Every structure is written in structure tokens, then in C-alpha cells.
Chains A and B, each alone.
Chain A
């Protein structure tokens, strides 16, 4: 086993300066998570699961600095009527946040919920534990053990507006660990928006339990500066006829690893995970998705598009696991990259593991440059090469952007992309 060869000293160095929060309902879960972490070790490059991405930066105790943007930050979702929750370097900003009250929704903060009977007790670290098989996700366990804050959201009906979590980075070497827990009860509906670079180094976990018939939407933009290091996990569990849709736009960042692990346990559920990323130069973006079908008649979609230039690296590791008995599964997975120059790289491992016979599962993966013919056509219509390239780039990303159901939100993120292209001329 690879586990035996791990350098377990790394863990002790990594956690030496961290405090394990004590004395609240989550203490047991945190202690268990630390045990899990110590049993599997920190991730290493030679782990098959980290084949394409170097995890070293998440293992070291110090945080490599990331410049804080001097410019006034544009709030991506500022136009959206939402309940706003602000974290500055992982610290809750009460002044800029709205009151944590919303019809049908109860919102608490992890750092300020001491009641031993808190509803989140049955979920905190639980879905993360479920997500440790078949491959360990040590960064998820690290997060459960040492998370300093996060929001706990219980939804009992259709939330009247989205929750908008805004992250700000204030310090050049901030190291932030946040852990959110969301539970949608039967038939409930909620949209969560996330935006901003949260820290120089961020470890973020969201555990989502979607009960029967509930609908959860998640839209996130990781508009980082060029030095940020980000590791995120979504651990989700889906009940009967529930819907889960998550979309992530990654702009810049030195290293981003987004993992999404979905366990479909109820029949006729729908799970969509999508992402678009644009990177220039020292940019490494990794989407790792694992969807487990353990129920009948479910649909899952994975749609990932990456635009890479000047030596940027895009990674996709996706898996659809269809367990025995999960008949009538419809699984789809596509990962594509557009390499704008000869130095950029696309590394992919799109996997299928299927133990049921009455299923339709397909996956596709392509990589290539801008279509010369299309470019020529546009130029012949009088469009400049720069504009034509942008047009084709946006068209390439469109299939992923279309996964955002809400037209206004899709429009906001498309503007982000246009802005990025504008800033990266030539």
C-alpha cells in the first residue's frame, strides 16, 4: 500500500501551528477527522490521485504570499438580490454582512454555535468521511479538523433569495480554512453564490445534504490574483428526485484544485457539475469530480472547459461510478481544452466504472488549438484577429456556461470572462 511509504512527519509539521477548536458539538468530528488524516497521510505527487497536480504547497506549514489587489474589487454578484455574508481572510465581517435571517432558512456560524444539539452535528465531517472512499482526500479531513469558521444552513422550504458568500483577501500570507454545511430538507430550494479570492492559501469545504425532492444550486467564481493557492471540496449526498447543480468559474490563481464528490443515494436524482476556467502563464487548475450512482434512474452531467495560454496547465480527473443495481443511469461527461499556444498543457483522466448493464454512460475529451478555418472565416468578414479569437474562445466556453440555469447569473459570469480576455490581449 502506498500509505505505508508516506512521510507522516509532514502532517505534524503541517498542523503544528494550528489549533484544534475544543469544547463544542463539532469536537468529536474534528478529533475523528484528525485521526483519519493521520492514518492516510498528506497527499503526495506519487499518489495516483495527485498524478497531474503537485500538492506540496498544501502540505507546507508556511503560506506562500499572494499579492492583495490594490484596486477596488468588483463584486461579481453585487446586482443580485441576495443575503450577503462576508469573510475577510476567513474572519466573519459582521459590519458588511446582512443579518443572518431568511424565510424558511436558518443560518448559523460554525464559530458561534455551541449548542450540543445543533442539527449540523449529524452532518459535519460525515459527508467528508463518506467521500474518503475509494481514495482518501486528506485535505478534506484536514479541513474538518481545523476549520475556523463557516456557515451552517438549514433550509425547510423555498428560500426567497440566494445566499451570497463574499470572500476578501486582506493579508498577503493569509491561510484560511472554512467549512460550510448545508442541509436542504424534503422539497426545499436554495441557491448559494460564492465569489472572490478568500486568502493567499484557502482550504474550503462544503458539505451538502439534499433531501428528497430538494433543489440546490451553487455558483462560484474563483477570481483570484495570480498567486493564490486554493483547494476546495464539495461533498454532496442526493436523495430521491433531488437536484444538485454546481458551476465554478476559475480565473487566475497559481494553483486551484476543485474536488466535487457526489453520492446519489435516491432514485431519479439529477446531479450536474460544470466548470469553466481561463488561465494565463503560471496557472494550474485541476477539476477532480467523482460521481457515484447508487440509485435507479438518475442523471449526471460533468461539463468542463478550459482555456489555457502561455504555459498554463489544465487538469480534469472525472469519474462516473455506477454501482450494481443503479439501472437506467444516464451519465455524461465532457472535458475539453482550448490551447491558445504551444506551451500550455491539458492533462485528463476521464473514467467510467460501471457495474450495471442497463445504463447509458458516455464521456468525451478533446484538446486542440483554435480552429484555423473558423478564424479565417471571421477575419474574412472583417473581424480583427483579436476579436475573432475572443469570439471563438467564448463560443468554446459556451457549453459549460450554459450549465448555469439563471440567465442573469450566466450573463454576469460571461462578463467576467470578457473582462479577462480584455485584460489579456496579445
Chain B
């Protein structure tokens, strides 16, 4: 399986670059290796003591601990949601670790030079070099396009802790705060206090409440008024330890008139036992500010029999508080055994805009239940949803979304398009949209289709000398084009490769 493109004779008209790209990523999950590093764990299981311990490890102030403990109490009263079209064995919340950090991180390194070389090597291997002046791997052409090296600041999260954040000083010069959330709690308590939990309340849902109690680290971003963030920011999440859940929390605040583009990537080693990842991302967007949030989610999806993999239960929400605020979510979901994720937009200010572009690919035994919520509260608000779901193998892929026009949201617009593609007759594709229109000056349009890969298109590609795998990849890429085009360049390439590999073996 790992050499499907090895012996392909390249015919005229087939882009050599595409073939190389596919060859490079060819084969099974390529981030399935693990780093052998000495770890320090909190005792297994979940209790107030564990919550206290996490708070202690992060040297948090009392108000933060109180917040966590209150969340823990709420969590005990909550029930696990069952409405999603996903099916997985009951999670034993007492049979896993809630905190794991590399021993070498016991005292926080002052600079990247002090970070354990093993950790640096891990990110190097993942194509995320934690060195300044370097651009992200896979976008070598970027320099030529822009004339100057493109910089991307990275916050690298390894299991429960942030290993390091690059370009901090340069960003600070522009007034941008980019650090781990554990540092932010200590260094910028006023900002954190003001905004944490203001978009995703503590008791929002089962997993968000769990996250509020036990989140260990994550990223914090503050863009001051009128600042266009000088470079793209990114967080790379890596789960390495076994039997360990990752609970990270991201808080992004875009003050009046500011702009930031934020990228998120994630991978995990190949393990037989499923692991839990329950993150919360909160974004606050003030007047005239704009945030782009892009994710390439490539957690370990489990093997072809559904053994192992990450359970990805994530709550992401952006609150467009000020007038004319804009948010754009772009996601490419290819990994995880089970995905439960609905990046949402609260369009509170007048003339605010929310956009959601998604490609969700589920292969083998994967299950994805993902979509968005567009809550129109302000006047003249606009939203657009483009969702492409692809199912192959025995996978189940569900789009679930809400478009809500409140009585006050006069003259608002929504356009939703969700298409599903089925490859093979053992998979499923489902669409569950909720539409609530409570005023008549707003217009809501929803369209959805489900179809299989078009035989004529495949035949055409085959007649040009492509093999079946390549032809499917090309057709699928065409199907996903709307979404891929919305991705920042750093991700577009990787996403295209992912679209190709996730479909391997799905034909015939």
C-alpha cells in the first residue's frame, strides 16, 4: 500500500510535481512515530486533586484554580452528549492521564536554545522547525512569491505543555502577544480573566466543561487595536504519550481594527488504544477586526480496522462582538477516529461576517460529525458555509450545522452549500442542517447534494493515462477546490496532499 505511486510511469499531461507529492506522502499515516522521551505524569484518573495538581504545575493564581474546580463540579453533573452520529466505546475518564510533560520541561526553558534537543527534533521531523528565520516546510516557493522570507510564528504544544514559542520578541515589538496560555495566566491575568470563558462558557457542553477543569496548556494571542499581525501565527499540537488526553485551550483576542491569520496543525503517534483530545478555542473579535483561523487536523485516525486513533471532541467559537468584525474558519479534517467539532460564529455586531470552509475526509472506520453554527444577532450580518464531506471505506461522515436568524438580525444573509461524495458502497454521508429564521428581511439559502465520483470524469482521466487512484485524487481535489482556495498558502499544499492520501485504497 505504501508504494502505490512507486512504479508509475508518468505520462504526458500528468503533473510530475503531483506525482512526487503523492509519493512523498504516500503510504500509511506518516506521523505515526513516537518520540522516546522521559515523561512526568500526573496520577491516572480525574479528581479535584488532579485539577489542583494541574493548576499547581502551571503555577496558577487562586482565581484560576477556583474557576477550574467550579468547572469540575459542573462537569460531574453533565451527561455525555449522544446526539452526534458517531459510535464509540464508552470512555473511561478515570483510566487515563490528564497531565504529561517531558521531564526536561520541569523548569521552563528561557529560550529555544535551552529546549531539549529531542523535542526540537520531534518538531523538525514533523516539518515544523522551531527556529526563527525559518519558514514552514512544504512552502519553499513562498519566498519567490513574496520577495521576502515568509515568517510564521509557532507555539509548539507537546502533550500537556507548550515547548516554546518562536518570534515572540519580534511580535512584541508590534504589540502582539503570542505565548502559551499558562504564561498568559501569569503575565496577563487581566486579559485572561476578562475573556476566558466569555465565548465558550464553562458549562457550554460536556467536553468544554471537562476542558475548563483540566486544560493544561494552549496558545494565547492578543492583537492590539489597529495592528495587522506582521506574520502568521500557528500552534502545532502533538500528542506523544500513551493513554494521555490532551486538553488545550486557545484564546485569541483581536482588538479593534486588527488582523491576524492563525494556523493550527495536529498529529499523534500510531497507538492501539484510542486517546482523547478535547480542546476549546475562543476567539473574540472587536470592531473592524478580522481573524482567519485555519486547521489541518491530522490526528492519528486508527488503523483500517478502527483500532486506536484520536477521539477529537472540540469546541471552537468566534464571537464577532464589534461592528464589521469578520471571522473565517477553514478546516481540513482528515485525521481522528472520531471527530465531533463545530467551529461557530456568533455574529453579534452589526455588519459582521462569518465564513466556514470545510473539507472532511473519512476513510476506513473513521467517523466525523462536523459542521458549524452561524448565529446572526446583529443587523446586516452575512455568513457563508461551504462544506465538502468525503466518505470512503466504511467511514461515516456527517455535516451538522445551524443557521439562526434572530428577530433583531434584519437584512442578514446566509448561503450554505454542503456536498457529500461517497467512494464505495460501505460508507455513509449524512447532512443534518438546522435552519431557524425569525425575521423576514433576512435570506437563508441551503443546498446540499450527495453523489458518487462521476464515472465520466474518471473515465476521462483514465483515458489520459492516469491510474485509478490518481484519477480519483484529481476529481476529489476538484470537488474540494472551493475550500482549498480559501486556505493560507502554508496549508494549501499540505491539504492537497492530505486529500490525496486519505483516499488511498478506497477505490474498487
Contact = CB atoms under 8 A, between A and B. Distances in A.
Contact of A344 (B436, B440, B447, B452): B440
Given A327-B425, A342-B441, A344-B440, A351 B435 contact: no
Interface in B40-88: 82-83, 85
Interface of B is mostly: strand
Nearest to B422: A357
A361 B419 CA distance: 10
A369 to B, nearest CB: 4
B104 interface: no
Contacts of A346: 435-437
A341 B437 CA distance: 12
Q: How large is the interface on A (under 10, 10 to 19, 20 to 34, 35 or more residues)?
A: 35 or more
Contacts of B436: 345-348
Interface string A42-84: 0000001000000000000000000000000000000000000
Given A346-B437, A362-B447, A354 B426 contact: no
A366 B425 contact: no
Contacts of B83: 48
Contact of A366 (B82, B427, B441, B444): B444
A340 interface: yes
B449 interface: yes
Nearest to B439: A342
Contacts of A354: 420, 422, 428-430, 450
A364 B447 contact: yes
B68 to A, nearest CB: 29
Contacts of A363: 431, 446-448
Nearest to B421: A357
Nearest to A356: B425
A361 B428 CA distance: 13
A366 B445 contact: yes
B433 interface: yes
A365 interface: yes
Contacts of A365: 433, 435, 444-446
B343 to A, nearest CB: 20
Contacts of A1: 82
B430 A352 contact: yes
B202 interface: no
A341 B441 CA distance: 8
A82 to B, nearest CB: 39
Contacts of B451: 359-361
A349 B435 contact: yes
Interface of A, secondary structure class, is strand
A367 B435 contact: yes
A345 B448 CA distance: 22
Interface in A1-57: 1, 48
Nearest to A369: B440
A81 B431 CA distance: 44
Interface in A161-202: none
Contacts of B448: 350, 352, 362-364
B442 interface: yes
Contact of B449 (A357, A358, A362, A368): A362
Interface string A356-384: 11111111111111000000000000000
B177 interface: no
A324 interface: yes
Interface string B395-430: 000000000000100100000000010111111111
Contacts of B431: 350-352, 363
A351 B430 contact: yes
A87 B72 CA distance: 60
A343 B425 CA distance: 45
B432 interface: yes
A412 to B, nearest CB: 30
Nearest to A308: B440
Contacts of A393: none
Contacts of A364: 445-448
A325 B435 CA distance: 30
A357 B433 contact: no
A355 interface: yes
Nearest to A321: B430
Nearest to B410: A342
A337 interface: yes
A103 interface: no
A368 B450 contact: no
B437 A352 contact: no
A353 interface: yes
A337 B423 CA distance: 34
Contacts of A351: 430-433
A344 B442 CA distance: 12
Contacts of A327: 425
A369 B450 contact: no
Contacts of A368: 440, 442-444
A354 B430 CA distance: 6
30 contacts: A1-B82, A337-B437, A339-B440, A340-B440, A342-B441, A343-B407, A345-B437, A347-B437, A349-B432, A349-B434, A350-B431, A350-B448, A351-B432, A352-B450, A354-B420, A354-B428, A354-B430, A354-B450, A355-B428, A356-B425, A357-B427, A359-B450, A360-B450, A361-B450, A363-B446, A364-B446, A366-B443, A366-B445, A368-B440, A368-B443
Given A355-B428, A364-B445, 12 more contacts: A325-B425, A340-B440, A342-B439, A342-B441, A346-B435, A349-B433, A351-B433, A352-B429, A354-B429, A362-B448, A365-B444, A367-B444
Interface of B: 82-83, 85, 407, 410, 420, 422-452
